[in-house]
Amino acid sequence: MSLPLEGLSAVVTGAGRGLGRAEALELARLGAAVVVNDYGQPGRDGSGEASAAPAEEVAAEIRAAGGRAVAHTGDVADFAQAHGLIELAIAEFGKLDVLVNNAGILRDRMIFSMSENEWDAVIRVHLKGHFNTTRFAAAHWRARSKAADGPVYGRIVNTSSEAFVAGSAGQPNYAAAKGGIVGLTTSTALALARYGVTANAICPRARTRMTEDVFAGFERPEQGLDPLAPEHVAPLVGYLVSPAAAPVNGQLLVVHGGMVAIVERPRVHARFDTKQDAFTYDELDALLTPYYAQRPTGETFAAVELLGLKHA
């Protein structure tokens, strides 16, 4: 019996640690040949000297288990290096079939205190990094489709966050980047569907180097798998890049702790029409003020409450 991803090749960014590592290992376990990308900086804020060790170690782990893997230690936020990453997959494995974008950094600050550099750095790694790899993967699939005169196999899984869905007061840069990734994903899904390519985004929750302080107050179980283990997320990524997920396109899914939730696109909650040629201030005041007055203040969901986790 063949494995679901047998014969496919994949790129996983940010795969030296945490979520990316778990995803790379899962794709390899399911039969894919994997390019393990990680720039290797030790600081979760993107600080410190770049190192080949994280990517090389995961690639070696895959090979030791009988899989195929190579390491790439470039910066996906650099346009040329992202191009090199996609070209490496094609050169090593003959083609690219799967792209999983996971690389990111954090530079948290309240909006009134954030520096320009803190904003730019996070947008660059998350949003531009996702764009760079997607751009070159998309060009590869389009060229292959034209040469074949028909659809080809292509899968993209991007990493968003509930910081975009629910807001995150101390992460305006991160929340904005993750919102942008959803927009990039849905646009890509529409643009590439004709070539046989799907693009979806996930909002994962996992205890990693990036979230160690966020989940520091949540207890680990004495037995069994931690609800926040990255291994809860990786199987969904494996499914989304598989042939079985061909009908799944342009979707946003929340995943953690044995739970997958499909997020609806925004819907109109209420509509008001002017009784005149155009709205006036007074008419809007008469319509909207009572509407918002009867709604609970700040109708956003609390991330901690959704998780159902208990403080340690």
pLDDT for residue 108 = 85
Is residue 100 within 8 Å of 13, Cβ to Cβ?
yes
Q: 19 to each of 83, 112, 208, 228, how far by Cα in Å?
A: 23, 31, 7, 11
**Of 128, 174, 195, 242, catalytic:** 174
Tell how far CA 197 is from the center of its chain.
17
Angle at which helix 116-123 crosses helix 172-192, to 10 degrees, equals 30
Rounded Cα gap, residues 89 and 91, in angstroms? 6
pLDDT for residue 198 = 98
pLDDT for residue 231 = 86
| 187 flagged as catalytic | no
Is residue 231 within 8 Å of 205, Cβ to Cβ?
no
Rounded Cα gap, residues 242 and 238, in angstroms? 6
| 174 flagged as catalytic | yes
**Residue 290: helix, strand or coil by DSSP?**
helix
**Of 9, 160, 161, 242, catalytic:** 161
**Of 39, 168, 178, 242, catalytic:** 178
| 291 flagged as catalytic | no
pLDDT for residue 111 = 95
252-256, strands of its sheet edge to edge? 69-72, 33-37, 9-12, 98-101, 154-159, 197-204, 252-256, 259-263
CA dihedral sign, ordered 177, 179, 183, 186: positive
For the CA atoms of the chain, what is the radius of gyration?
A: 21
**Residue 262: helix, strand or coil by DSSP?**
strand
Q: 259 to each of 198, 203, 238, 307, how far by Cα in Å?
A: 22, 12, 15, 10
pLDDT for residue 46 = 74
Rounded Cα gap, residues 142 and 197, in angstroms? 9
Rounded Cα gap, residues 102 and 20, in angstroms? 6
Rounded Cα gap, residues 307 and 215, in angstroms? 11
pLDDT tens digits in sequence order for the chain, 312 residues long = 799 999 999 999 999 988 999 999 999 999 999 999 999 877 666 777 778 899 999 999 999 999 999 999 999 999 999 999 999 999 999 999 999 999 988 898 999 999 999 999 999 999 999 999 999 999 999 999 999 999 999 999 999 998 888 788 889 999 999 999 999 999 999 999 999 999 999 999 866 555 555 554 556 656 666 677 788 899 999 999 999 999 999 999 999 888 899 999 888 889 999 999 999 999 999 999 999 998 765 554 444 344 444 333
Is residue 69 within 8 Å of 59, Cβ to Cβ?
yes
Token reading at 104 = 């990111």
* Strands annotated E in 73-179: 98-101, 154-159
